[in-house]
Amino acid sequence: MTIGYLYLTRNRANNMAYVGQSSRLDAQNVQSYLGSGDLMLRAIDKFGTDSFHKEVLGYFDDQNSLDHAEILKIAELRNAGESLYNSGIGGPRAESALREAMFSRFGIIPRLTQQWLDIVANSSVEVKSLLASIEEPEPDDFYRELEAQLLMTQDLGSLCPRCNANVGEVCRTKTGNPSRNHARR
């Protein structure tokens, strides 16, 4: 069963790109959701939605494969010298745990873009196994990284009528923890 898709949104005005994943598979979302994250939302605000072209790169049946595909696409674009609206390396909400696991296993850091790309592309089985093995982060880290991930994956282009989250801010539970978008946002 399809659990999500990978997409690339490009700004025709300056050729900057954004790579993201979404679990919202309804046609409306697939067609019109361009991405979020702080840089992306500000760019949409500045250039307008008409300036952006979104391309679906693939649909995936499991989260590990989707995460790996996202990390790989971002690695390819960075290594090609493209300017991205993505601030991170992509992949799971526990991004710092992934960086640590990649360094422990391969001695590699994302800034070495060619070596990072080579590992992600050529050792995909091992990288996926690292993705599968990453432990759940501690609660504080968990919510910090969850919020960072939600900023990239949720459509934050409108206010939330339920929790009053502002444009560009994630929804929050009654106890103040970040959450996925409430219904009808």
Query: Going residue by residue from 49 to 78, which x/- string records binding to Zn ion, judged by CB under 5 A?
Result: ------------------------------
Output 14 or 164, the one with its CB closest to Zn ion: 164
Which residue in 94, 91, 89 sits closest to 108, CA to CA? 89
Q: Is 171 in the site for Zn ion (CB under 5 A)?
A: yes
Query: Going residue by residue from 116 to 155, which x/- string records binding to Zn ion, judged by CB under 5 A?
Result: ----------------------------------------
Output 40 or 171, the one with its CB closest to Zn ion: 171
Please report how many Cα atoms fall inside a 13 Å half-sphere around the Cα of residue 30, on the Cβ side: 11
How buried is 113 (Cβ within 10 angstroms: 0-12 exposed, 13-18 middle, 19+ buried)?
A: middle
Q: Is 162 in the site for Zn ion (CB under 5 A)?
A: yes
Q: Are strands 17-22 and 52-60 parallel, antiparallel or unpaired?
A: unpaired
Contact present, 72 and 110 (Cβ < 8 Å): no
Which member of 34, 84, 150, 160 binds Zn ion (CB under 5 A)? Answer: 160
Q: How far is the CB of 165 from Zn ion (least distance, A)?
A: 5
φ, ψ (nearest 5 deg) of residue 162: -90, -45
The secondary structure element, H or E, covering residue 60 is strand 52-60
3-state secondary structure at position 138 = coil
Query: In one letter, which amino acid is 155?
Result: D
Q: How far is the CB of 179 from Zn ion (least distance, A)?
A: 7
Output 33 or 116, the one with its CB closest to Zn ion: 33
Q: Which stretch binds Zn ion (CB under 5 A): 54-62, 81-89, 91-99, 174-182?
A: 174-182
Residue 75 tokens, joined: 């690695």
- The residues that touch Zn ion, with contacts defined as CB under 5 A, are 160, 162-163, 165, 171, 182
